[in-house]
Amino acid sequence: MGAAEETHEGPAAGAPARVRLRFAPSGVDVKVPGGVTVFDAASWNGIAIDSTCGGHGTCKKCRVRITEGEVPVSKLDSRAFTPDELRDGWRLACRIQTQGDLDVDVPPLVTRPKAATVGVGRQVILRPAIVKRHLQLEEATLSDQRTDVQRVMDAMDDLELTVPIGVLRTLGPALRAAQWDVTAVVADGELIGIEAGDTTARRYAIAFDLGTTTVVANLLDLDTGTPVAVRSMLNKQQPFGADVISRISATMMDPEALAKLQELAHETLAELADEVIEQGQVAREEVYEVVLAGNATMTQIALGIDPEPLGVAPFVMAAMGYEGLRATDLGVHVHPLAPATVFPSLGAYVGGDITAGILATGLDRDRRLRLFIDVGTNCEIAIGNQDRIVATAAPAGPAFEAASIRCGMRAAPGAIELVTIEPDGVELGVIDDAEPVGMCGSGLVDAVSELVRVGLLDASGKYLTDEEAAERLPGLADRLVTVDGERVFVLAWTGEPGDAAKSVFLSQRDVRELQFAKAAIATGWRLLLEELDIPESDIQQVLLAGSFGSYLSAKSAIRIGLVPKLPIPRIVSAGNVAGEGAKMAVLSIQERHAGRALVDEIEYLELSDRADFNDRFVDELAFPGGS
């Protein structure tokens, strides 16, 4: 399907692997893959070059001057410039396929290209895969019997188009009913619709973040790059288990489960689509595309592909990426031929959500060495910069989801999410300022971190004895009690006074659970650092991603050793980066290609294959502590 378009967009055969571009007057100096156009390279690096057509060679506004390096004169150049200008090095930036190093002089803007800020502070130049063209066609005559499709193609001869049979079925009547005054809707090289009159201002798409727990839909206006509506809901697959492993197990137990799970994923996506379409008050058939980021299991299930091989060693995916999909393949009913783009997965446990997240953070474009951690039952970790990225998955277990924690709960009203412990008492932050009923993942990390800091937990994760506690921390000792034969620390007395069993507490076993989780994660990033042969202190930023990571206190994360010991401002909450990556892929075809390329660029390290994993894991169980 998209092959023709990709040829068009891709680098020319025989181009050098990398070329250096220096832009004046900005002074920006970058290396880009040979064959990329100067226009695209500039877009990627945040340099605004004039353009109204978005690099399609039709507006002739992207004038730049080459002051160093050779660039042949293209056909369009000779129409856009005088011979004197050509001699002076003027060229159209969108026609220059870089074949060697260049110095490029960029004139000040006349038209400001549309751009949107998405991801982690990323500026994306709007260039959606969905393109609309208003066409006023000549009516057919006996001396001009071109076919209907040819007439439409000829009016857009800068695009290489394929036309699916669904469009051919409606094309003739549509052209004639509209008296040959139509708007063509093109999706990444495919003509997906012909609309009467000029509808170019109305173009929408939906970006989905299909999480195991939560699913988010963003309706975007492709003309302005702005979000029109956003909605989220719990994944309707919840009855089949909270995490991917339980859902995979369900499909292994029951041959009907896969179909049912797929249906529930489709229902979730379809309902969200309906909601954002209603909230945004747009026409359903003017939503021309959907993009989805999800982990490998969610993606395979949504596409109806048996996830069993993801759940058992050697953890094999059906495919990294999927081409030629339509929104209907995901159960989403918008424009009937709307394509669907699904972010590719790097491995069974480093899925499309992570590819999208890495795209959103620009990990692969930044000079700084950064550590990306998506904290959850399965924890994905990547370290790298523009030169190299390595990634892995660490089996953190359910501690962060608080599922295996005695008083654990999801981050909902009544969940303790912040904990401060001083020798004379405990201070809690509860979601919605409600009465505490349990603690969520961030509360758990805070609680353990604070208990380590005040010394009620030692570095090995063991509670003090009653005697030690009474001696060293008399103000807290009455909270250290025994419930069901296990030592617990009471965070909140929620039952009868003194009835620890009905309080919100943290048990010795809960502490062990968190220790295992953090040890798995720390082992993961330490092994990646070793792979890169880089000391921990070289990490310039830690990005905590995912719904859990976003709420984690940086101080606590450092204190329990979940993240490297770095100055607190370097630990950054990155938010829902998967959803942001999906939005970027909707807004820019360049970003989409970059997202696809990530699976080839990122090196995947399989931890379960490493003989030294268990020893390293044990080394990481201790809490480093610190203020």
Residues lying near its own copies in the complex (CB under 8 A): 1, 3-4, 7, 140-150, 162-165, 168-169, 171-173, 176, 303-306, 308-309, 313-320, 322-325, 329, 347-348, 606, 608-609
Comparing CB distances to its own copies, the nearer of 299 and 503 is: 299
Comparing CB distances to its own copies, the nearer of 320 and 437 is: 320
Rounded to the nearest whole angstrom, what is the least distance from the CB of residue 176 to its own copies in the complex? Answer: 7
Q: Is 622 exposed, middle or buried (0-12, 13-18, 19+ CB in 10 A)?
A: middle
Comparing CB distances to its own copies, the nearer of 194 and 557 is: 194
Comparing CB distances to its own copies, the nearer of 25 and 314 is: 314
Dist CA 362 CA 350 (whole Å):
17
Comparing CB distances to its own copies, the nearer of 151 and 583 is: 151
Rounded to the nearest whole angstrom, what is the least distance from the CB of residue 390 to its own copies in the complex? Answer: 15
Rounded to the nearest whole angstrom, what is the least distance from the CB of residue 446 to its own copies in the complex? Answer: 36
Q: Cα 87 to chain center, whole Å?
A: 45
Comparing CB distances to its own copies, the nearer of 21 and 602 is: 602
Residue with tokens 């010991």: 565
Strand order across the beta sheet in which 389-395 lies:
571-575, 541-545, 370-374, 378-384, 389-395, 603-604
Q: Cα 474 to chain center, whole Å?
A: 48
Rounded to the nearest whole angstrom, what is the least distance from the CB of residue 299 to its own copies in the complex? Answer: 11
Rounded to the nearest whole angstrom, what is the least distance from the CB of residue 177 to its own copies in the complex? Answer: 11
Strand order across the beta sheet in which 438-439 lies:
425-430, 415-422, 438-439
| Neighbouring-strand partners of residue 487 | 482
* Residues in Cβ contact with 491 at an 8 Å cutoff, skipping those fewer than 6 apart: 407, 416, 419, 426, 428, 436, 439, 443, 447, 479, 503, 504, 505, 506
Give the CA radius of gyration of the chain: 28
Phi, psi of 223 (to 5 degrees): -80, -35
Rounded to the nearest whole angstrom, what is the least distance from the CB of residue 141 to its own copies in the complex? Answer: 5
Rounded to the nearest whole angstrom, what is the least distance from the CB of residue 45 to its own copies in the complex? Answer: 30
Rounded to the nearest whole angstrom, what is the least distance from the CB of residue 77 to its own copies in the complex? Answer: 20
Cβ count within 10 A of residue 252: 14
Dist CA 204 CA 287 (whole Å):
5
Comparing CB distances to its own copies, the nearer of 153 and 287 is: 153
Nearest to 277, CA basis, from 267, 266, 288: 288
* Residues in Cβ contact with 566 at an 8 Å cutoff, skipping those fewer than 6 apart: 536, 537, 539, 542, 558
Comparing CB distances to its own copies, the nearer of 164 and 197 is: 164
Rounded to the nearest whole angstrom, what is the least distance from the CB of residue 160 to its own copies in the complex? Answer: 9
Nearest to 338, CA basis, from 586, 135, 160, 588: 586
Tallying the residues shown for the chain, one arrives at 627
Q: Are strands 287-294 and 325-326 parallel, antiparallel or unpaired?
A: unpaired
Rounded to the nearest whole angstrom, what is the least distance from the CB of residue 255 to its own copies in the complex? Answer: 11
Question: Per residue in 573-585, is it b (16+ CB within 10 Å) or e — as a string?
Answer: ebbbbbbbbbbbb
Q: What is the DSSP letter of 140?
A: P
Comparing CB distances to its own copies, the nearer of 315 and 617 is: 315
Query: 59 with 53: CB under 8 angstroms?
Result: yes
Comparing CB distances to its own copies, the nearer of 143 and 460 is: 143
CA distances from 66 to 69, 91, 483, 563 (A): 7, 7, 76, 46
Cβ count within 10 A of residue 38: 29
Comparing CB distances to its own copies, the nearer of 227 and 304 is: 304
Comparing CB distances to its own copies, the nearer of 64 and 159 is: 159
Rounded to the nearest whole angstrom, what is the least distance from the CB of residue 319 to its own copies in the complex? Answer: 4
Q: Quickly list H helices, 533-576.
A: 546-549, 554-560
Comparing CB distances to its own copies, the nearer of 30 and 163 is: 163
Comparing CB distances to its own copies, the nearer of 339 and 362 is: 339
Rounded to the nearest whole angstrom, what is the least distance from the CB of residue 366 to its own copies in the complex? Answer: 28
SS3 561: coil
Rounded to the nearest whole angstrom, what is the least distance from the CB of residue 317 to its own copies in the complex? Answer: 5
Rounded to the nearest whole angstrom, what is the least distance from the CB of residue 300 to its own copies in the complex? Answer: 9
Dist CA 300 CA 318 (whole Å):
8
* Residues in Cβ contact with 530 at an 8 Å cutoff, skipping those fewer than 6 apart: none
Rounded to the nearest whole angstrom, what is the least distance from the CB of residue 128 to its own copies in the complex? Answer: 22
Query: 576 with 374: CB under 8 angstroms?
Result: no
Query: 518 with 624: CB under 8 angstroms?
Result: no
Query: 501 with 484: CB under 8 angstroms?
Result: yes
Structure tokens at 321: 């990426």
Comparing CB distances to its own copies, the nearer of 149 and 597 is: 149
Rounded to the nearest whole angstrom, what is the least distance from the CB of residue 314 to its own copies in the complex? Answer: 5
Comparing CB distances to its own copies, the nearer of 250 and 563 is: 250
Nearest to 217, CA basis, from 294, 141, 109, 296: 294
Query: HSE (CB half, 13 Å, CA atoms) of 619?
Result: 10
Structure tokens at 141: 């005559």
